[in-house]
Structure 1
Amino acid sequence: MKKNLASNTRSSFKAKIAKYLLEDEVIMNWSVLNKSILILILGSLVHIFWIFWKSFVLLSPNLWNFVDLALLQLQLKLDILFFCLLILMILPCVFWSKKKWAQQWLPYLSIGILVLSLCRNGAMIGVLSPATMVSYVSLVTVGLVLFNRKIVYFSLIPVTLFLILSNYLSLEGHISYAPLFHLNTSPYQNKFWVSSMLYFIAPILMICLILFEILLSQWRHREQLIQHLSQIDPLTNILNRRSIKACLEKLEHRPIKSYALVLIDLDHFKQINDQYGHNTGDETLIQVSEALSKIIRDQDVVGRFGGEEFILILHQSSLAQAKIIAERCRQAIQALHLLSSVGDSIQVTASFGVAFSSTEIDPQKLLSQADKALYEAKACGRNQVKCYPENLGEAQLY
């Protein structure tokens, strides 16, 4: 509802902006060490899945013929070791979170340990296996979203070189491909290998999907708030000139049955700024915008057209209705109780120019007519409402 861009909206909207653009609840706004802690926790969860799988295989004698048992035992110990390292890395990220050197180097160390463990496991199950590729793509994507590119490329380049070299050596027969498994045929013909790949991929995809869903939701909401912020005047929190022009363009392309434009100019506003200061002038503009917003109907639009000038777009309104609303607004502005910083009472008045349209009149032409009516109101002594009737000349203003 357009009308709600007044006093209550100002406080609630600014609260939303603060929450989603400034506060730490938004993952994108976390410190680099908090993001590192998140990555360490996610990496630890992945290691738990690996530890569980290897423990299950070791406890299932019927599966021993599918794996290199000695290598599996060694890898299980290494998984436990890396899991402990990842958990322990959380402690310095928490305790030294305010240290500049920690903010600079701990992210590199944290991601480096995680990447090293992923490369090791990838070499054991096959560098071109689905699980390794999914881990590689997920790590790169998550890293680029959360961290500075330098941190990501610090790990990405060595990992890429490692995968290329390992694949080359396995093709040349210098090392075995997926040494953890006994693969006498194509890996994809080995049901145990395929089911193991699915098991390794599932937690990575699940974690990444949840993380990206959170990030995308926060990103979309933040974009909506930023877009909303670009449409309103930062001082009065009513629509700005750009938004008003967009509203007029919509009226031009999708004309409604009838509407009216009301231009409002505060009388002798420069004197308020000069005599009482710009802070008092700003407060005057804020209170005027609130007064206008309280009077117009829900379907109508109020905006700041520039400086001390405001505009109303009154949808589905006749000229008589528009004049009544303008008169109410004039009285509300005149009734404002403003005090200067030294306690002086400040009288505020405004002049109004009203123009009525149907589908045959261009909005820009109507705006020009409202401006002529406003000029007439000023010429006749200010603090009054003048109308420019449809299809009538300037001499017939009343």
Structure 2
Amino acid sequence: MITTLEEMGQAAQNAAAELAILPAAKKNTVLNAMADALAAHRQAILTANADDLVNAADLPAKFVDRLRLTDARIQDMATGLRQVAGLPDPTAQADKGWTTDAGLHIVQQRVPLGVVGIIFEARPNVTVDAAGLTFKSGNAVILRGGKEALRSNMALAKVLQDVLANHGLPVAAIQLITDTSHATAQALMRLNGYVDVLIPRGGAGLIQTVVKNATVPVIETGAGNCHIYVDQGADLQMAENIVVNAKVQRPSVCNAAEKLLIHQDVAADYLPVLAAALRAHGVELRGDARARAIVPDMIPATAADWDTEYNDLIMAVKVVDSLDAAIAHINTHNTKHSEAIITNDYTASQRFLQRIDAACVYVNASTRFTDGFEFGFGAEIGISTQKLHARGPMGLTQLTTIKYEIRGDGQVRS
């Protein structure tokens, strides 16, 4: 007997087949209508979110911050949908075409992946971001959020599904799993034949659980043990501005900086200033022996600190001998997400760009810019930290694959 999850998978496949041939103009009309609907139903969404927040009162502050919706965050989601509507449809044109020696005309056409499954934690914005991007790229989506955000996710999904229905489109294009049990999550990870790709969004624990247990293809996203390296050629004021922004502006997200490395030649002068600026914003500092020799009241950093994504107002600090020592440390401990160097030395910046193994590498800018919206992609499906298929902020193009269309006039191979 077919299960409910399999029924969702079949309905998603049917919807995906319809979305794959939907004209770009129709998609854009629907996306703008979804943005309007979010604003029109703002109060119902906030009421549902308030219920979730009551139940999450005992959870850590960083968790509650990701869960909380506000007028501004709802507006950001609507803006993301409008920006996606304004972007080119990746499936509306061919990548390239050519003619072979045999006279075959080959076109490399970009096509949707099909059915995208997304498992995510208490981040209601993912419901809208994922729905908008998958819809524009011609994919159906099955969403499985955390139980802490269930009411918020249900309210958002209903708004989006009502818009689909009002425009004569299958509501199964955007589906939300309301059974938040681990068993259902495990079943989604193994929904071969229905789900074409699974994308986890959340902490390292969730991502690794999906990677280890899924039998459908997985794109790893999210975990961000991000570093900022202050080089000997750095401007102190620039370093202070960037380090504080990267750590403090929104510490609970994956592109926030978690580690500060500083060259030994400037550490004595720069580290007290940077430490004071961070502490003014309530940041707890954990330093290695050399950092604590300069700022003695730092908490001693442990070996585990160098591999920890805090998602909180905590930062570990290390003094390094050289640029190459910084690069080696980062490549040993990072999660391939976002890394930054602060320097006015062009040669040092180029070496950092070339040698750091990460999806996004910055020179003289905050890691907080690793974001689909900031990159001009509209909303994002996640930050891919792997190397196959997609890497970095995943926008519309990353939710497609290719198909070769070959036209002949009777050719046979000899």
**TM-score using structure 2 length:** 0.18
Structure number with higher strand proportion: 2
Q: Which of 1 and 2 has higher RCO (CA within 8 Å, sep 6+)? A: 2
Q: Which has the larger radius of gyration?
A: 1
Higher share in helix: 1
